[in-house]
Amino acid sequence: MQRCRQCVNSWPGGGAPGAQQADTVVPFGPAVPSEVACDGPAGHGAPALNLVRTARYTPYNFIFKNLYEQFQKQANVYFLFMSLLMLLGERSCLFVGTIKAWSTAGLLGLMMCVTGVVAIADDLQRHKADRDTNYGREARRADGAALTSIPWADVRVGDVLEVHQDEEIPADLVALCSSDDRGCCYVSTANLDGETNLKLREAVLQGSGMDTPCSGDVRVPAPCADLYSFTGTLRASAGARPQPVSLAHLLMKGTRLRMTRRCRGVVVYVGNDTRMQMNTKKAPSKMPNIERVVNVSMWVAVALQAVMALFTTVAYVRTRVYFQGLPYLYPDGFERTLCLPDALAYFLTFFVLYSNLVPVSLYATMEVCNAAFALYIQGDDALRVPDGLGTERHASVRATNLCHELGQINHVFSDKTGTLTQNIMQFFKFSVDGKVYGPLKQWI
């Protein structure tokens, strides 16, 4: 059987990456025990979960992952370096330590905690959205002639699901039967490829009634990310002749059933094995434009700090003999206690003294402003759209640190897919044998 080139090693019990994995036989129907239908295909162990995970953090990786992300901000690296430098001057004789290390380190820790709290608030919204998708949406499982409502998270390979018009398909299904007399159904794949035109899909068991229990098995290849290739076989009953199954019979997760009242299909891929999940890229940690500007501005301030420390050091070295001889400064005479040469030691001393040129609360202030901006966006009644279920929903902010990017858009790039143009074509003119037919009006 033909296999797609982008096979992914996420099938339970899969081998090494790139290895050819065996096709899987998925039994379905009322005669199939639930433990067989729910287990990993071909008895590969623990059942695959039909879960959607978009959250960035877990209780176990939050501290390490968030610290890594926060130290991508160059100001945090700078203040950590300054805190260590202050501690070195405070605990050694290398240079004169005039500022306590805890004053900068404590404030840095406080600001990082504020940023961490904002990150937690953002991720809690992602967890809530995941729970709403996994447990707030329900699918109809056909248990013989009866239908049972189950949350999306409980959908397993081998379940026979019934989908109604305008509903989103919860997993990758092979269409078995449809309410259409021709055994056809239409799906919208806008969530997968952005195309708004409907795709025609065919039921494998054309002519079977919707309320007739279906049983048999379907042989499918290993999970694959290719949206345009699928091959398999389906047997409606034991000993029956296998029927070929292709992309025309596959209802992918994320698509919506259109212009068809009802359709039933057998689940062949769930969770991370679905085409949609395999084509979903991990959300990167994005850095807004204003942070790039702040990073550059910070290093300009650090360069100015170094120049000021250099000039102050030169002035001190040139006048130190005079000041060291003043009795009201050194009543018992000047006694040198520094280990480093004066030029280097006092350069570090003045560099630490001028460290307040870069405000330690800069990034935390930006995070608080972004969080307030996000609350205004989510609560704006003018930013409501219908959700297709008769109600309206407000705008949702997925990353608060990108809110201010909304006012800095310079260019909008769009291809001609019909999203904006609606693919409306109007007659202008045509030419036959050199003669032009049509209105003379020139379109602008």
Q: Which are the contacts of 185, defined by CB distance < 8 A and separation ≥ 6?
A: 175, 178, 200, 201, 202, 203, 251, 257, 259, 260, 263
Structure confidence at residue 238 as a pLDDT band (50, 70, 90) = low
**Nearest CA among 75, 83, 126 for reference residue 287:** 75
Question: Are the C-beta atoms of residues 336 and 345 closer than 8 Å to each other?
Answer: no
Query: Does the pTM of the predicted model rise above 0.75?
Result: no
Whether the Cβ atoms of residue 172 and residue 268 lie closer than 8 Å to each other: yes
Lowest mean pLDDT among 76-85, 129-138, 156-165, 282-291: 282-291
Decide: helix, strand or coil at residue 209. coil
pLDDT at 417: 55
Q: Work out the pLDDT band at 48, boundaries 50, 70, 90.
A: low
Average pLDDT over residues 83-104: 86
Q: Is the pLDDT of residue 9 over 60?
A: no
Give percent above pLDDT 90 in the chain: 11
Q: What is the per-residue pLDDT for 444?
A: 42
Distances (CA, A) of 324 to 27, 216, 315: 93, 98, 14
How does residue 30 score in pLDDT terms, banded at 50, 70 and 90?
Answer: low
Name the least confident of 3-17, 23-37, 190-204, 384-398.
3-17
Whose structure tokens read 């949406």? 137
Q: Which residues contact 371 (CB under 8 A, 6 or more apart)?
A: 118, 121, 400
Q: Are strands 172-178 and 262-269 parallel, antiparallel or unpaired?
A: antiparallel
Please give the domain boundaries of the chain with CATH numbers for all domains: 24-50+155-278 (2.70.150.10), 62-131+287-364 (no CATH)
Residue type at 291 in one-letter notation = E
Q: Is the pLDDT of residue 38 over 50?
A: no
Residue 74 confidence (pLDDT) above 70: yes
Rounded to an integer, what distance in angstroms lies between the CA atom of residue 105 and that of residue 314? 29
Q: Does position 17 have pLDDT exceeding 70, yes or no?
A: no
CA end-to-end span of the chain: 54
Q: Phi and psi of 294, rounded to 5°? A: -65, -40
Per-residue pLDDT reduced to its tens digit, 56-72: 888 899 999 999 888 88
Helices (H) and strands (E) in the chain, counts: 9, 17
The Cα–Cα gap between 118 and 359 comes to 20
Structure-block tokens of residue 324: 């060291």
* Axis crossing angle, helix 362-378 with helix 74-91, rounded to the nearest 10: 150
435 vs 402, higher pLDDT: 435
- 140-154, 196-210, 348-362: segment of lowest average pLDDT: 196-210
Predicted local distance difference test score (pLDDT) of residue 16: 39
Q: How far apart are CA 203 and CA 214, in angstroms?
A: 12
Which of 96, 281, 251 shows the shortest CA–CA distance to 184?
251
pLDDT greater than 90 at residue 306: yes
Catalytic residues: 415
Residue 346, CB half-sphere, CA atoms under 13 Å: how many? 17
Distance from C-alpha of 131 to C-alpha of 135, rounded to nearest angstrom: 6
Q: Is the pLDDT of residue 7 over 60?
A: no
pLDDT bucket at 351, cuts 50 / 70 / 90: very high
Can you read off the two tokens belonging to residue 228? 């345009």
- Provide the pLDDT confidence category of residue 440 given band limits of 50, 70 and 90: low
3-state secondary structure (DSSP) of residue 442: coil
